[in-house]
Amino acid sequence: MRVALVSFETTQHDDTVPVRRVERIARLLTEGGHEVTVFCSQWWDDYRDTFIVDGVRYRGVTYGTALSSFCTRLPVLLARYRPDVIHTGVFPPQQVTAALTGSRLARTPLVVEWYGTEGIDENGRLTATVTGRPELIITPSELVRTQVRELGATEANTTTIPESIDCSLTRSVEASEDVDIVYSHPLDDTANLDDLLLALAELRQRDWQATIIGEGPRREEYELEVQKLRIDDRVTFAGACDLEQRVSLYRGAHVFVQTATSEQFPTELLWALACGCIGVVEYHTDSSAHELIEHYERSYRVTNPSQIADAIVDAGEFEHRTRDDELVSFDHSAVIEQYLDAYQRLTNDSPD
């Protein structure tokens, strides 16, 4: 299949989750033998129109990040490429409008990738274009899908495809020792780590060791709270660990506790479940974490610190595992097939 991916900025400009998601799609499609080009603003320092990184072909639409020039040039370049599908990130929304024009010129369906953190202007004229005119909008969770539909999209032109992980790491990375409970999230205003710490304080008479993964502006505040609760000798703040370090901790732990108040998709919870952890998820209206465990046996849904404490104790009834092959459906290879199925449905329905 011939796929044009549109991303005004790449991870060379802006290393955010939505941008990484688009580039991961490009890489996985390329590894699967499909012909893929990412149309982007040029970052490489020469006059070549194209640049290849890790097998992915990038096509510079403009030199530098001039959005108006990018949107002016993009439609014709897309039409000349003659892709089977055009797939664009939702931000900036002007690139969606330009990609839409390109899709009409190329007589090709348009797919929009909407992660949920992009900050589209809900009252702007562009929102109607972004939500109403693409053939398909892909979101990572039902939470985000609902938000997009509230902005004007429909059930028919939206679908959910989750984040994906490399399940081979759950077999190859050595499990850590001396950790029973693990938490992972940036320590910012959405972390809500207080609820876990209060739960741990209720369990101070029991034998456990907890590790907190993440950096952020509230780390010092949380470290002081741990001292006040007199559990500082059993709680380790590990900072911003790399992926292999996190997987090692998840494989060693028995319980992963999710308390963050905002989560478009709970990727770290997914990693932890795939590494065998019992999931304890605190419900919040702006978090999709509860969706992941809705039909997952080795998990608990809770609403307050006392219930978190009870769930941690009850989790002892489950055997300790260092991986769970039930989560292989979230492997990169499985999830990219969902994208290909969506593309295939659109091209089959295309009038041309």
Specify the length of the chain in residues: 352
Query: What CA–CA distance (Å, rounded) separates 181 from 277?
Result: 9
Helix or strand holding residue 3 (H, E) = strand 2-6
Q: Are residues 271 and 156 in the same domain?
A: no
Looking at the structure, tell me whether residues 149 and 18 fall in a common domain.
Answer: yes
Res 220 pLDDT > 60:
yes
Q: Are 7 and 146 found together in one domain?
A: yes
Q: What is the pLDDT of residue 211?
A: 98
**pTM (predicted TM-score):** 0.93
**Mean pLDDT, the chain, integer:** 93
**Tell me, what CATH number does 260's domain have?**
3.40.50.2000
Say whether both 60 and 77 belong to one domain: yes
> Distance between CA 156 and CA 166 in Å, rounded?
30
Residue 13: CB partners within 8 Å, gap ≥ 6?
A: 19, 41, 43, 65
Instruction: State which residues form the domain around 298.
Output: 169-328
Looking at the structure, tell me whether residues 40 and 141 fall in a common domain. Answer: yes
146 shares its domain with 104: yes
314 shares a domain with 270: yes
Q: What is the pLDDT of residues 10-50, one digit of tens each?
A: 988 878 899 999 999 999 999 999 999 999 999 888 888 99
Asked if 184 and 309 sit in the same domain, the reply is yes
Judgement on whether residues 314 and 336 belong to the same structural domain of the protein: no
Write down the residue that tokens 């029973």 correspond to: 180
Q: Do 240 and 92 belong to one domain? A: no
Q: What are the residue ranges of helices labelled H in the chain? A: 17-31, 67-81, 93-106, 125-132, 142-150, 169-172, 193-202, 219-228, 243-252, 267-274, 289-292, 305-314, 332-349
309 and 278 both lie in a single domain: yes
Q: 101 near 127, Cβ under 8 Å?
A: no
Residue 113's closest CA among 235, 227, 7, 244? 7
Beta strand pairing call for 56-63 and 50-53: antiparallel
Count of the separate structural domains present in the chain: 2
Whether residue 338 is found in the same domain as residue 284: no
Angle, alpha carbons 329-333-337 (nearest 5°): 85
SS3 annotation, 271-310: HHHHCCCEEEEECCCCECHHHHCCCCCCEEEECCHHHHHH
**What is the side-by-side order of every strand in the sheet holding 255-258?**
235-239, 210-213, 181-184, 255-258, 278-282, 299-302
pLDDT tens profile 247-299: 999 999 999 999 999 999 999 999 999 999 999 999 999 999 999 999 999 99
